[in-house]
Structure 1
Amino acid sequence: MQVLVEPPAQRVEGDDLVWDLHLEPGEKWSCDLTIPCFHGPAPDTYLTSHEFQKVFDGDTDDPTHRWRAAAPTLQADYQVLRNVFDKSVDDLVALRIQTDLGGQRMDFPAAGLPWFLSMFGRDSLITAYQTICFGPRLTRGALRTLARYQGDEVDDFRDEEPGKIIHEVRTGELTRLGIKPYDPYYGTADATQLWLILLSEYWRWTRDDELVRDLRDNVHAALRWIDQYGDRDRDGYVEYATRSPQGLGNQCWRDSWDGVQFADGTIPVLPIATCELQGYTYDAKLRIAELADSGPLNDPALAQRLLAEAEELRARFNRDFWIEDRGGYYAIGLDGDKRKIDSMTSNMGHLLWSGIVPEDRAAIVARQLMSDEMFSGWGVRTVSTADRGYNPIGYHMGTVWPHDNSLIAHGLARYGYRHEANRITTAMLDAAQCSNFRLPEVFSGYERTFSRIPVRYPTACDPQAWASGAPLLFLRTMMGLDARDGQLVLDPALPEGYGRMLLAGTNAFGKRWDIEISEGLTDIRAA
């Protein structure tokens, strides 16, 4: 791309245009830049102001317009649901970035605005999972792009290890100078398992055997990381502890410095094995076993090994992480001394999503999540109000996160708790009405009776990718929509008063489908 400047730069240094200037007080200097906007079939064409406006009006064949036109549409009697859906799709289109992989352009969900318009591991993987049934492009792009950056050496400064999926990429001055480790940084203990989970989910919805086979080596590297590097002390659990002087202390999704605490507010010693890391590992091994047994990996021995490891992990986890006090719940983790970190947190809901919870404990977990101490009326809090560390405006210690709630609702529905899942969905849609139908990254955990609207978290990303993806997963959860053995499955349970809905043009198995739900009717048909 050629950028025209007037007056011309005196010299070029790398990607920088440089002018040497000396301005007297009150003196002004200006420079005009002409930047080509690629549109339609002619990549070297400059846009006139009239043509430029047409791009934003959607009247020309630009990539964003094509991407939005390919997305499913929703018709719904409950207008709030439709408005939130449309806003989410628009925000996801706006947040997508493109990467070049061997000359092929890949769409990839950036984390959020204004702070994190960049490539992230965990955020992008969960966003791609939330949106898989609405289109596979973000999912395919996330899988391939993150595979490209998969760790291949031990680098303490960047917390890199072979097989590990990145946490984030930044390119600011401190990173370029080598002061910060973000080029890329690998300080996450869950992105590797989430990458495996997403690959499985992508295959279930697309039956794209070729992509799975192309990523076979990345799959094996990720599995080796889980067992060799993720399990730091060989106790059978994935745990984390940064080796970098600039690294993150917490490397689960609650990655603020105080995001993991004991119930009395004390900070646990590293390394820490949080509960959802074990749930993700369990789910990842089951899913890759499916790909190895009846899927394109075609490795029965691997499938048998992973099934045995998953079952052993499930039994051990439910022995070591369960706490009988306070009515029963799962510890958020084990600390470096193998003590149960006994705060009550929303991470329990991720365990339902992963399927590691036995049926007889699922009811207990559901009751705890929907208790007054955990459920604010707008959503499930990150931590119980009964814990000393609870703070309604603490980033991970009492706030309400839409993405967190979307996974919790999906997990509740998995175990048959559809009413509880719908309570969360309805509360989230109510919250979205208070912010122009957009769910922010996070909002405060005050009781709903405290204010007519959710109290905003002051520095939340808005929009943020996995918050924008949350309504799409809420919709899928209400519809009971899933892909199993090459077929779409529908088991709707809509909240009272939602009426009819038609999801037109959803994507599965290389085709478009129309899905209609109303009282006494469920219908899936080729579009």
Structure 2
Amino acid sequence: MKERVSILDGNTFLVCDRRGDIEPSFDFPTGLFSFDTRFLSTWLLTLDGQRLHALSIDDAQSYRTRFFLAPGEPTHYLDAKASVIRSRSIGGSFAEELTVLNHSEQEVEFTLRVDMGADFADLFEIKHERRKQGRTTPTVGHDKLRLSYRREAFCREVVISTSTRGEIDDRGMTFRIRVGPHGEWTTRLHVAAVIYGARGEDIRATLPLGGHRVAAAIHAEQDELIDRAPKLGCDCQPLAGAYRRSLNDLAALRYESITLGVRLLAAGLPWFMTLFGRDSIFTSLQVLPFLPKMVPATILMLAGLQGSRLDDFRDEEPGKILHELRYGETAGFEEQPHSPYYGSADSTALFVILLDEYERWTGDASLVRQLEPQARAALDWIDTYGDLLGTGYVWYVTRNPETGLQNQCWKDSWDSISYRDGRLPAFPRATCELQGYAYDAKLRGARLARTFWNDPAYADRLEREAAALKERFNRDFWIPEREYYALALDPEGRHVDALSSNIGHLLWSGIVDESRAARVAEHLLGPRLFSGWGVRTLADDEGRYNPIGYHVGTVWPFDNSIIAWGLWKYGFREEAGRICQSMLGASRFFDGRLPEAFAGYERDLTDYPVQYPTACSPQAWSAGTPLLLLRVMLGLEPQGEHLIIDPAVPEGMGRVELLDIPGRWGRVDALGRSRSPHDHNRGH
């Protein structure tokens, strides 16, 4: 598999190969992207007509990279008489400094060429290889190349300028240079991506942080955010490395909304650099004990875009929380329904859960009171539009069969929900974790109603409904002969009986009967689901199991963090610790950055975690995983005005110390140490 190298600064990111090159391919998409449009599809460097090869890459910082390159094949490195240093940074715009070094004793003439091109592809066009409907026009100047794209009122532009005079044509720039003995030559290229609004203004320039930022400003902003986070001291190097990398990635993934100008967390690079309801909520839950100030903007944005009408094209319904918000051409021309799109059946209940959890940590009662109408609308959605069949469960089926998502749970690929033999059930579907989220949302909504909304009658009603849902769920979803909960119910109420990681989310929600929790924990840590690196999305003896299938056998770090949290809630501290250890062990093989997903192969088979071929990296809820695992290991739980600390650090990790944990209590410290082998608490 080719290796991607990326740099990003929230709104803008660049993906290239190990040489720093960008080529217009679809099987390995690279480019300069901003707000769902690819502004560079070609950026290819040659020296005297030869492609270059990477000697080394310095990509320690998210917004800056250096490539050390030499011409010729790798076997010729020792004979290279020249090399090139390619230094680049990103901060709204993209800048690249090219330095050619002459290592010989004579003056040498070189021809340096950068092929440049912009296809202005929408991300959906890249994924599905769709042709553009508009027209691209090049304009060649004496020191710049301007490429403009227009389709009716939709206009995007990229302006490429150089600090050194060269030969500029509509496909790039050529520099014919002389470099003295052991000398060097440098030019600086600057690429500005322009998004025109309805009145012809550059929309990005109107954002609070502006369209362009220097590296020093990005560095200072990221450092400021990281400095606000609790300080970790520990004996476990994988934990220390993963924690630092997670904070760096979360800082880098923040972006400015083009509509409201607030700072939000993008879901992941390269495909999901935008707001996702479900992903943003789960990430917020993960980071809440560490960086609570990152959370309110997400809550407010989701509340502000809450569904208010019936719109089949967008899967919108009153009270529903969005799934995905896009800014590109296909959304603008309604070729895709993502402006925004509401095709998720879980984000609405999760919104209420996050609002309550946020208040429990921060004491921010004003936000809870401000968003009472939105929280009530979300709770109403659960019992109205969410309950499609009137059975008291949350079901889903898209209103838009042409472009809507088929599966609207977190496992939203087409084949993720199946019977044991691999058959796919009909729609609508009621997956098990949706019921757990609804149960939790009702209980949390009851607390908010009683404590902040002055509506005890509504609180009593929600608690009665939650209790009835729990009883009904444990009757209808439990498969007695297999002793686990069904993945889903089909439209006839029959069990969709595959064994999946979803049962771990049931523990997190609290909907599992105490008498069945131990059996659920055994399944999660048993050989069918647990690979040694983590819990697989689907058990390895199911019909659709594939260790490198997106949701049918891979291991997802975010999924495992929620499962660990659920095990902890039911008292299974050792089992939760095993997942923490496996995730942190895997992170060592990814330089501390857990990817979106990795293969479900047995640990003994591969000896290292095998990355899923097209996994996002960094991805927000994977970056949040080490943070939530820390919360689990230290047993952090808000209770009134206090933070309960009840550590259970897994064997071999030694000391784990987290200082200055923020919350309604001010800032407190937590310390935990590994337990001895005979001191396990195995839960209920």
TM (normalized to structure 2)? 0.69
For 1:280-359, list aligned pairs within 5 A: 280-293=437-450, 295-326=451-482, 328-359=483-514
- Given that 1:438 and 1:468 are in contact with CA atoms closer than 8 Å, whether structure 2 keeps it comes out as yes
For 1:250-261, list aligned pairs within 5 A: 250-261=407-418
Question: What is the DSSP-based 3-state SS (H/G/I as helix, E as strand, rest coil) of the residue aligned with 2:264?
Answer: strand
- Structure 2 CA distance, aligned partners of 1:100 and 1:505? 34
- Structure 2 CA distance, aligned partners of 1:164 and 1:101? 20
- Given that 2:659 and 2:669 are in contact with CA atoms closer than 8 Å, whether structure 1 keeps it comes out as yes
Residue by residue over 1:195-244, the C-alpha shift from the partner in whole angstroms, topping out at 9 and shown as x without a partner, is 00000000000111100011011011111111110001111000000011
Question: What is the DSSP-based 3-state SS (H/G/I as helix, E as strand, rest coil) of the residue aligned with 1:516?
Answer: strand
CA RMSD of aligned residues (A): 2.8
- Given that 1:167 and 1:191 are in contact with CA atoms closer than 8 Å, whether structure 2 keeps it comes out as yes
Q: Measured at CA, do residues 369 and 10 of structure 1 come closer, stay the same or move farther in structure 2, by a change above 3 Å?
A: closer
For 1:471-482, list aligned pairs within 5 A: 471-482=626-637
For 1:19-34, list aligned pairs within 5 A: none
In structure 1, the residue matched to 2:242 is: 84
Q: Which moved more, 1:189-198 or 1:26-35?
A: 26-35
Give the aligned residue type for 1:381: R
- Structure 1 CA distance, aligned partners of 2:412 and 2:210? 44
In structure 2, the residue matched to 1:269 is: 426
In structure 2, the residue matched to 1:361 is: 516
In structure 2, the residue matched to 1:390 is: 545
- Structure 2 CA distance, aligned partners of 1:358 and 1:462? 37
Give the aligned residue type for 2:427: L
Mark the structure with the bigger radius of gyration: 2
For 1:148-227, list aligned pairs within 5 A: 148-227=304-383
Q: Measured at CA, do residues 180 and 494 of structure 1 come closer, stay the same or move farther in structure 2, by a change above 3 Å?
A: same
Using the TM superposition, give the Cα deviation of residue 446 of structure 1 relative to its aligned residue in structure 2, in angstroms: 0.6
Q: Which moved more, 1:386-395 or 1:159-168?
A: 386-395
- Given that 1:119 and 1:169 are in contact with CA atoms closer than 8 Å, whether structure 2 keeps it comes out as yes
Residue among 93, 109, 115 paired with 2:251: 93
Residue by residue over 1:352-402, the C-alpha shift from the partner in whole angstroms, topping out at 9 and shown as x without a partner, is 000001111000100111111110000011111121111111111111001
- Given that 1:107 and 1:137 are in contact with CA atoms closer than 8 Å, whether structure 2 keeps it comes out as no
- Given that 1:113 and 1:462 are in contact with CA atoms closer than 8 Å, whether structure 2 keeps it comes out as yes
Give the aligned residue type for 1:437: G
Which has the larger helix fraction? 1
Residue by residue over 1:485-521, the C-alpha shift from the partner in whole angstroms, topping out at 9 and shown as x without a partner, is 121001111111222222122210172322233479x
Q: Measured at CA, do residues 33 and 461 of structure 1 come closer, stay the same or move farther in structure 2, by a change above 3 Å?
A: closer
- Given that 1:278 and 1:317 are in contact with CA atoms closer than 8 Å, whether structure 2 keeps it comes out as yes
In structure 2, the residue matched to 1:514 is: 669
- Structure 2 CA distance, aligned partners of 1:2 and 1:443? 31
In structure 2, the residue matched to 1:434 is: 589
Using the TM superposition, give the Cα deviation of residue 332 of structure 1 relative to its aligned residue in structure 2, in angstroms: 0.5
- Given that 2:158 and 2:193 are in contact with CA atoms closer than 8 Å, whether structure 1 keeps it comes out as no
Residue by residue over 1:108-161, the C-alpha shift from the partner in whole angstroms, topping out at 9 and shown as x without a partner, is 221101111111000010000011100212221111111111001100000000
- Given that 1:101 and 1:145 are in contact with CA atoms closer than 8 Å, whether structure 2 keeps it comes out as no
- Structure 2 CA distance, aligned partners of 1:26 and 1:90? 36
- Given that 1:441 and 1:460 are in contact with CA atoms closer than 8 Å, whether structure 2 keeps it comes out as yes
- Given that 2:359 and 2:368 are in contact with CA atoms closer than 8 Å, whether structure 1 keeps it comes out as yes
| Structure number with higher relative contact order (C-alpha < 8 Å, ≥ 6 residues apart) | 1
Question: What is the DSSP-based 3-state SS (H/G/I as helix, E as strand, rest coil) of the residue aligned with 1:74?
Answer: strand
In structure 2, the residue matched to 1:466 is: 621
- Given that 2:650 and 2:674 are in contact with CA atoms closer than 8 Å, whether structure 1 keeps it comes out as no
Using the TM superposition, give the Cα deviation of residue 73 of structure 1 relative to its aligned residue in structure 2, in angstroms: 1.8
Q: Which moved more, 1:455-464 or 1:76-85?
A: 76-85
In structure 2, the residue matched to 1:524 is: none
Give the aligned residue type for 1:319: R
- Structure 1 CA distance, aligned partners of 2:192 and 2:258? 24
Q: Measured at CA, do residues 484 and 229 of structure 1 come closer, stay the same or move farther in structure 2, by a change above 3 Å?
A: same
- Structure 2 CA distance, aligned partners of 1:53 and 1:152? 41
- Given that 2:442 and 2:466 are in contact with CA atoms closer than 8 Å, whether structure 1 keeps it comes out as yes
Q: Measured at CA, do residues 463 and 2 of structure 1 come closer, stay the same or move farther in structure 2, by a change above 3 Å?
A: closer
Q: Measured at CA, do residues 170 and 516 of structure 1 come closer, stay the same or move farther in structure 2, by a change above 3 Å?
A: same
- Structure 1 CA distance, aligned partners of 2:172 and 2:250? 44
- Given that 2:421 and 2:543 are in contact with CA atoms closer than 8 Å, whether structure 1 keeps it comes out as yes
The alignment status of 1:69 with 2:69, answered yes or no, reads: no
- Structure 1 CA distance, aligned partners of 2:352 and 2:492? 29
Task: Structure 1: state its 5+ residue gaps.
Answer: 521-527
**What fraction of aligned residue pairs are identical, expressed as a percent?**
48
TM (normalized to structure 1)? 0.89
Paired residues, number: 500
- Given that 2:158 and 2:192 are in contact with CA atoms closer than 8 Å, whether structure 1 keeps it comes out as no
In structure 2, the residue matched to 1:523 is: none
